Amino acid sequence: AQSVSQHNHHVILSEAASLELGCNYSYGGTVNLFWYVQYPGQHLQLLLKYFSGDPLVKGIKGFEAEFIKSKFSFNLRKPSVQWSDTAEYFCAVNQAGTALIFGKGTTLSVSS
Amino acid sequence: GAGVSQSPSNKVTEKGKDVELRCDPISGHTALYWYRQRLGQGLEFLIYFQGNSAPDKSGLPSDRFSAERTGESVSTLTIQRTQQEDSAVYLCASSSPRGAYNEQFFGPGTRLTVL
């Protein structure tokens, strides 16, 4: 069955620290990959997405993610986090025209 | 334009009662999805509507759950005889499937609490 695994349930960082959140998926065929973010009290927003082409994708607010097909991974990175990055982060996968399969999410807490 | 809207934002109900949750997708979006998020869990797919095609109901957890959509507009998710395990945030998303790319835009959700 298709699945998405996010290895870190809760990550705590100080401002300016570097961030990497792991995401692995189990999904046959061509996939679309997404990272969504949910800030406290707000609804889910798209952070970045990969459909094809350059496996290193850049999103909003300085985030980037790298698709490594051989590892079935799509890890999210940011070189220097800010307090405002405190949020819950969800990795998701789908094939064109189908529902998203989400990981369980990673809560990021950034202390100032 | 306006994003995806959902109502009510919060719903508290007693076990055994029926509830209806509403979703207004972004105008022009032909695809509409329902998901739910239980505490400490990721989002679980429930049902998917695409234009006039038969909906994909493969994610509905039981026959107490049903959903309808009028054309390419409003959708209603109905939960009959609610149980405590139905307590969750119910999220609606819509997308415009142009080509292979269907970024889904999410609404704010309805938080359902079954007492």
Assess whether pLDDT exceeds 80 at residue A103: yes
Instruction: Please report the pLDDT score of residue B100 as a whole number.
Output: 47
DSSP, collapsed to helix, strand or coil, labels residue A60 as helix
HSE, side-chain direction, 13 A CA sphere, residue B34: 31
| CA distances for A28 relative to A91, A94, A103, angstroms | 17, 10, 17
Place of tokens 């940011």: A78
Note whether B9 and B108 are within 8 A (CB).
yes
Place of tokens 């609490």: B113
The rounded distance, in Å, linking the Cα atoms of B65 and B45 is: 13
The rounded distance, in Å, linking the Cα atoms of B107 and A58 is: 24
* B40-76 per-position pLDDT tens digit: 788 999 999 988 888 999 999 999 999 999 888 899 9
The rounded distance, in Å, linking the Cα atoms of B53 and B87 is: 30
User: Residue B95's closest chain A neighbor by CA?
Assistant: A97
Query: Min CA distance, A43 vs chain B (Å)?
Result: 5
Instruction: Please report the pLDDT score of residue B92 as a whole number.
Output: 96
- Percent of chain A scoring above 70 in pLDDT: 100
Instruction: Please report the pLDDT score of residue A74 as a whole number.
Output: 97
* A53-91 per-position pLDDT tens digit: 999 999 999 999 999 999 999 999 999 999 999 999 999
The pLDDT mean for chain A works out to 92
Query: Min CA distance, A13 vs chain B (Å)?
Result: 21
Tell if the CB–CB gap between B48 and A98 is shorter than 8 Å: yes
Residues present in chain B in total = 115
Query: Min CA distance, B33 vs chain A (Å)?
Result: 7
- Burial class, A19, CB count within 10 angstroms (exposed 0-12 / middle 13-18 / buried 19+): buried
Assess whether pLDDT exceeds 60 at residue B1: no
| CA distances for A87 relative to A29, A91, B83, B99, angstroms | 31, 13, 30, 31
- Burial class, A27, CB count within 10 angstroms (exposed 0-12 / middle 13-18 / buried 19+): middle
> Most A CBs within 10 Å: which of B39, B102, B110, as the mutation test of the A interface?
B102
The rounded distance, in Å, linking the Cα atoms of A8 and A92 is: 15
Chain B residues close to A32, C-beta within 8 Å: 100-102
Place of tokens 């869990």: B41
The rounded distance, in Å, linking the Cα atoms of A41 and A49 is: 23
φ/ψ of residue A60, rounded to 5: -80, 160
Listing DSSP states for A63-105 in one string gives -EEEEEGGGTEEEEEESS--GGG-EEEEEEEE-TTS--EE---
- Percent of chain A scoring above 90 in pLDDT: 76
